[in-house]
């Protein structure tokens, strides 16, 4: 079960964190993974790890906010069976202290970047009459998280785009779903805490971990397992769905 032999999977943000975990797992399950990341060195490090395990990978340095770059690399990847939109950025702030440029940055990466990759992938998959897309949303679209105004906005848009693509291309053999993680322990989170809470890193890590009823942050490999399932043939009857993977955050945080 959950084998991806012969499939080509494109994963954005695959140089670290969740994207890297997804790439490693999909390669292990037989897919040839196309590693898309703004940081070429990080993507190459992921590629080396994959190839040490006798997996197949290709590296594409790409800024997902640049539509021409995205079009070019997706044309090179053709054909394409799976797209995982994992690249994203975060921001701390409420409506009062979120600057216009902050909002624009979140929009450019988390919304427009996903749009660029969705469009490029759909064009390929529609011709093939087959394909699977998995977007990373967040519990921030479901609940009111403190000081996450711009981030919540962007992830709400990801969810809406997921539903639209699923509906519009269901008869073209394209499935589109999203998952909504709570806090996951990645290098991104460590850097985020260090930047926004200097001198209080340990305290904030423990505090953020305990906001999940399960008592800890998720692991990237746990998120990757759900992504693998939704992108596999075993999930062929699933489209237009969002899956929280949140340690009980949405339903049990009363």
- The dihedrals phi and psi of 215, each to the nearest 5 degrees, come to 95, 5
**N- to C-terminal Cα distance for the chain?**
37
Cα(89)–Cα(93) distance, integer angstroms: 13
Q: How many CA atoms lie within 13 A of 111 on its CB side?
A: 15
Alpha carbon distance 237, 172 (integer Å): 14
**Lookup: tokens for 209:** 């971990």
* Nearest Cα to Cα of residue 138 among 253, 241, 246: 246
* Peptide bond preceding 79 in cis form (omega within 30 of 0): yes
Comparing C-alpha atoms, which of 27, 53, 74 is closest to residue 228?
Answer: 27
Q: Which residues are catalytic?
A: 151
DSSP 192-229: HHHHHSTT-HHHHHHHHHHTSTTSS-B-HHHHHHHHHH
CA distance 115 to 97: 27
31 secondary structure, DSSP code: P
Kind and range of the H or E element at 143?
Answer: none
């Amino acid at each position: 079960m959950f084998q991806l032999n012969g499939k080509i999977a494109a994963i954005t943000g695959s140089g670290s964190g969740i994207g890297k975990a997804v790439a490693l797992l999909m390669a292990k399950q037989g897919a040839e993974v196309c590693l898309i990341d703004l940081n070429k060195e990080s993507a190459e490090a992921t590629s080396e790890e994959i190839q040490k395990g006798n997996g197949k990978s290709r590296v594409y340095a790409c800024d997902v906010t640049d539509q021409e770059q995205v079009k070019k690399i997706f044309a090179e990847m053709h054909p394409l069976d799976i797209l995982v939109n994992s690249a994203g950025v975060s921001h701390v702030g409420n409506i009062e202290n979120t600057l216009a440029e902050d909002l624009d940055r979140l929009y450019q990466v988390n919304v427009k970047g996903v749009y660029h990759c969705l469009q490029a992938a759909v064009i390929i998959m529609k011709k093939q009459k087959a394909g699977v897309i998995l977007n990373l949303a967040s519990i921030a679209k479901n609940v009111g998280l403190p000081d996450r105004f711009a981030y919540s906005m962007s992830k709400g848009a990801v969810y809406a785009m997921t539903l639209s693509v699923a509906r519009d291309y269901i008869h073209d053999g394209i499935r589109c779903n999203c998952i909504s993680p709570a806090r996951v322990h990645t290098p991104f989170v460590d850097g985020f805490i260090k930047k926004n809470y200097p001198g209080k890193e340990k305290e904030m890590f423990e505090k953020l971990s305990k906001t999940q009823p399960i008592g800890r942050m998720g692991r990237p490999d746990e998120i990757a397992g759900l992504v693998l399932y939704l992108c596999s043939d075993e999930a062929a009857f699933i489209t237009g769905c969002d899956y929280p993977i949140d340690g009980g955050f949405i339903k049990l945080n009363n």
